[in-house]
Amino acid sequence: MQFELSHIDKVYISADEIKVYGAHDVSIKIPEGQFMALVGPSGSGKTTILNLIAGLILPTNGTLKHGDADITSMSLEQRTQHRLDYMGFVFQDYQLLPILTAAENIEFPLQLKGFSKKEINERVNWALAQVGLEKLGNRFPKQLSGGQQQRVSIARAIAGRPQLILADEPTANLDSKTAAEIIELFLKLNKEFNLTFIFSTHDQRLIDQVRSVLYVQDGRISEKKVNNV
């Protein structure tokens, strides 16, 4: 299903009553299977746009639709359920729970979705295999390298079989070799499962691999570029 943002504004009011736009008249169509990057300096509005797509915040004006579902008209509980059903998240700092093993970190959102223990085990094993960590499920985050921790984060994101992955600076904390491997993993998942990816990134290596680049400045989409990849 396609995501569509139509004339989205997100307005914040500063302490001195000045309007600040986190997003300003943003209109984007994101077809199923897209591999897209939001690019711009810190504070440009990239993360705000990701949070709007996720339904973590609501726009001040405009509409956001996923297929026929109007996310902007959903209640907080409905938006939370929509994220669980359709979205996965990958973060710069991995956000793994240190007291849980790699497998248990992947299990946690599956438990929230109400899967049976048998199905959870199958999905965890499948996800670990997809990211090349099938033998490391019993390790705790502190026993894993940064690249391996990010792979666990990706496994957690895909285990629920979402339609969309939102990734905020996913290669920022990785060395060059590991970042390249993670980018290849994203490409593999996109191609094999037609999984939609939207990245917020400064990493030129990732920017060069996406099919669509949206440049963000002061909350606006200032430029759109299509890569021949």
* pTM of the entire predicted model: 0.92
Instruction: With both helix axes pointing from N to C terminus, report the angle between 176-193 and 146-158 in degrees, rounded to the nearest 10.
Output: 20
Angle at which helix 102-112 crosses helix 146-158, to 10 degrees, equals: 20
Cross-strand partners of 13 = 19
pLDDT band at 14 (very low <50, low <70, confident <90, very high): confident
**CATH number for the domain formed by residue range(s) 3-226:** 3.40.50.300
pLDDT of residue 107: 96
Residue of higher predicted confidence among 128 and 114: 128
| Banded pLDDT at 1 (limits 50, 70, 90) | confident
pLDDT at 31 over 70: yes
Instruction: State in Å, rounded, how far the first CA of the chain is from the last one.
Output: 23
CA angle (25 as vertex; 74, 54 as ends), nearest 5:
35
